[in-house]
Structure 1
Amino acid sequence: MTTVDAYAATAPDLPLTRRTIERREPGPFDVLIEISHVGICHSDIHTARNDWGVTRYPVVPGHEIVGSVVAVGDAVTKHSVGDRVGVGCFVDSCLECASCLDGDEQYCTGPRGVTNTYGSADRYGGMTQGGYSTHIVVTEHFVVRIPDTLPSERAAPLLCAGVTMYSPLREWNVGADSRVAIIGMGGLGHVGVQIAAALGAEVTVLSHSLSKMEDGLRFGATDYRSTRDSTSLADLRGKFDLILNTVSANLDLDHYMSLLTRGGTLVELGLPEHPLAVRAFSLTHNRRSLAGSMVGGIPVTEEMLDFCANHGIGAEVEVISMDQINAAYERVLASDIRYRFVADMSTM
């Protein structure tokens, strides 16, 4: 085992603090990564503060990881020392079930299911610890190459926010004839607008205010509406082929379902506190669907990174030092960020 520096949550009501954690020695198929940047995802905050009721402390969050390979196991063929690489929301799966064989490792149905980058029991008898640390050891299959043209700080959030948006856009075959609405213009939404526009879709942003309209149009949206003004949405009924909901709040889904065209789908990406509620009539009328999507598998993540690199897409970020992490959490909760914090791990 090797000891490395990290920032960890030790209780739901305490700030994150600097401490040391242990990393396993790289095995034959493992890659040792020196982390240069890590994104701050709202899921990190939910976990640190036990909002979902399953956190085991201490926990080191962070699943938007970019860094350099500093050592590889003898059997590693995918990566070499010096490569710039990334790690996303999960670091292991069975690789044998139908989901894994299809490249949907996030839906692994093996005995342990998917192993999240932090907060999961791993096959080595411990709990996974994430990217708020100087180094991490990950099996090579779950390590992805970062294209040369993507700056590390802008690439890091793509490993969660980017693939979370790209995956359903590809699954529902969004292209030049598609009409897409994105609910929310935060860390996920601002990347989703860029990707959907680059795919050729006509994109509308549905946001609680118009404060980010200029950004949304700059990212490629052709329309931007305030959800606080119900009259402004009246002419959107029956318009959209696909609606992506990035908001982690319980919305009036029946209202948004009415904006779908015949055969349209609303995809839930956010994780609200209470169960979703929708009337059956909202589904049966015009054969509309309510679906969900969770990040994306390794092949889709690699495809997404190449797509973003080829189209000049990246997250808009504010880079912080790791000793600013607790202040960053408070600013995320206050919606005081456009659009993603990324920690520079050299500050450790």
Structure 2
Amino acid sequence: MIQKIGRAFLLLCTLFCLWAGAPAAEAAPQMIEATGVYIMGDNDSPKIARDAARQEAMRAAVEKAGVYVESYSRTKNLQLTEDDVKMISGAVLKVIKEDSVPEISGTTWKYTVHLTAEVDTDNINLQAIMANKAEVEKLQKERDALKKQNEELLQAYKKANGQEKQKIGTELENNYDYGKIFDRSMGYIQRSEYTRAIDELTNLLEDRSVKGNPRAYAYCLRGRAYYGLNRMHEALEDLSAADNTTHDNKTYPIWRSHQYEGLIYYDEGRYDDAVRELETAWDYSDKQDMALADDLRTARLAAERAKNPPAQEPRESDNGGSRGNGINWTQIITDVIIHSMDKG
């Protein structure tokens, strides 16, 4: 009996040691529940009510995701600003289920949208996101700007009457429909899931009824996804298609297509073309994008240097000397230094 107890004790000790020494299992993704409500007024569209409630639920979900992102960053000893937390939260939040329920409250109809989303902290590559911060931040600003436009349009819709209300309502419905696709696509690009973004946008572009601004922006976003995959030929085709599709840069920042064309041309050494495209992007922008300003300044300097290369110094043999067999080592070293600075 004592021997059996001893063996059992030894087995338990062994199992405990194995458990204690084993690597910790990956934590499950953090699940987030968020709800948005829209109270319908007279002659309000049910579709607008549902989508407005969804946008409110998404805002609440992003705020909750920020709590997890901030907590996770502390475990990694990372110092994130409030803007960084918001940017990352929008990028990593994934909606996995959505329910919408219309109901009557007294004499008023309301729509309630309930979202189930997740933040997978184990798969958040903060270093990759921060390394690509400029691009992620750029896309997050676009996502926020589109949501703000919808909020302003919704307020105008509530106050409007008659034909004006119908006109604003049609515009708002279209914005919501396309906005869901664009928001998902930008999230994919932020997370470097470029192929998923391309698939999403290709489905939209295959619908020939999609015209004007939404079609141009779909080309612009898909071109940026191809750019992320370093598939520059396809990127240029889509960015050019965005330029050539009728649009007005009012709802969507389609002018970004000129920026990415300029970046591609710069990498190809086509500095004049790069300057032309980046100048066009800058003219259409709000003149607040400092990354774009830096790109334009760099391209202008490269174009100027290409037109006015440094004067060639005389070779030693031209001055009567034969050391170095006529090789201008000073010029070679200068070129190497300039090239290194360009690469940097």
Q: TM over 0.5, yes or no?
A: no
Q: Which has the higher contact order (CA 8 A, sep 6+)?
A: 1
More strand by share: 1
More helix by share: 2
Q: TM-score, normalised by structure 1?
A: 0.26
